[in-house]
């Protein structure tokens, strides 16, 4: 049970970081952008979307609009995770505290997932059908690499 909860928390955190990295990489395609060094980091394939200047500006506007909400939701998610970890480590076991902190963590994860979905949806609609197809292809490739790594680590 604890391992499953920890995994879900790590997945939510990783998803948050992936969203931030994805957008940073989109900016990096045109040179130095927020979090980008012009090389695209671990998400170099996103440079292949060939966003126009107008698209990059629109993505930047979307991210700016959600910036405060992303930061606040990220803080709540981290705080909820820390509270849950403390509850799990409490001796003697306090089941009520573990349940309540886990519910708070689930609510924060839900808020983050909804926020990521809104951002993704807004950015996705800016892409041309060809860019969307390429983005999907890149997502599939990344998922295959992650699955392969997971399989290697589970051996």
pLDDT digits (tens, 9 = 90+) for 70-124: 999 999 999 999 999 999 999 999 999 999 999 999 999 999 999 999 999 999 9
Candidates 92, 113, 109, 112; CA nearest to 101 is: 109
pLDDT digits (tens, 9 = 90+) for 10-64: 454 444 554 554 554 444 443 333 333 333 332 334 578 999 999 999 999 999 9
pTM (two decimals):
0.69
Alpha-carbon distance of 12 to 82, in angstroms, equals 14
Q: How confident is the model at residue 5 (pLDDT cuts 50, 70, 90)?
A: low
- pLDDT of amino acid 154: 87
């Amino acid at each position: 049970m604890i391992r499953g909860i920890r995994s879900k928390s790590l997945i939510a955190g990783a998803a948050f970081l992936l969203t931030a990295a994805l957008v940073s990489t989109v900016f990096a395609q045109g040179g130095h952008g927020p979090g980008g060094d012009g090389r695209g980091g671990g998400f170099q394939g996103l440079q292949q979307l060939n966003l126009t200047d107008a698209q990059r500006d629109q993505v930047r506007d979307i991210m700016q609009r959600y910036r405060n909400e992303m930061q606040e939701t990220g803080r709540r998610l981290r705080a909820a995770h820390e509270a849950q970890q403390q509850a799990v480590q409490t001796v003697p076991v306090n089941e009520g505290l573990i349940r309540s902190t886990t519910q708070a963590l689930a609510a924060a994860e839900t808020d983050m997932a909804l926020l990521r979905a809104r951002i993704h949806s807004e950015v996705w609609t800016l892409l041309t059908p060809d860019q969307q197809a390429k983005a999907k292809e890149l997502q599939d490739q990344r998922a295959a690499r992650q699955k392969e790594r997971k399989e290697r680590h589970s051996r």
